[in-house]
Amino acid sequence: MPTTARKKPVSAKPAAKAARKAAKPAAKSRPLPPPPPVQAVKKDAKEAKEKKPKLVRDSFTIPKTEYVVLEALKQRAAQAGAPAKKSEVLRAGIKALAGLTDAAFVDAMKSVPSLKTGRPAKQ
């Protein structure tokens, strides 16, 4: 025997329910409570942390003789008990230059020859 599904009669009730649902959110709109003070403490802790400086990646051309000096400075740092990377040696040099007087800085800059920019030609 086949079973037949009974269809519900159409009534006006679904329209009345939809009207009530639309009216409910407006009736419940009340101001939100202020956030607990625990969140403010967490935010202060985040602000207290030191932010890491943004890093910039760059490449440059350096004469072979100066590159050898850079490697020698790395070895010197390692022998002194403070191993360093090339970038750390370069950054230390920048700090040393920044600490010079204007006259000493200009003299140091004059001792470095200017190079053609760009990549060297393939040999």
Give the angle 46-53-39 at the CA atoms, nearest 5°: 10
pLDDT band at 72 (very low <50, low <70, confident <90, very high): very high
Residue pair 77/89 in contact (Cβ under 8 Å)? The answer is yes
Residue 23's Cβ-side half-sphere holds a number of Cα atoms within 13 Å equal to 6
- Condensed to tens digits (0 to 9), the pLDDT of residues 79-118 reads 999 999 999 999 999 999 999 999 999 999 999 988 887 7
Quote the CA–CA distance of 77 and 83 in Å, as a whole number.
5
Q: Which range, of 18-27, 32-41, 63-72, 88-97, averages the lowest pLDDT? A: 18-27
Q: Where are the domains of the chain?
A: 85-113
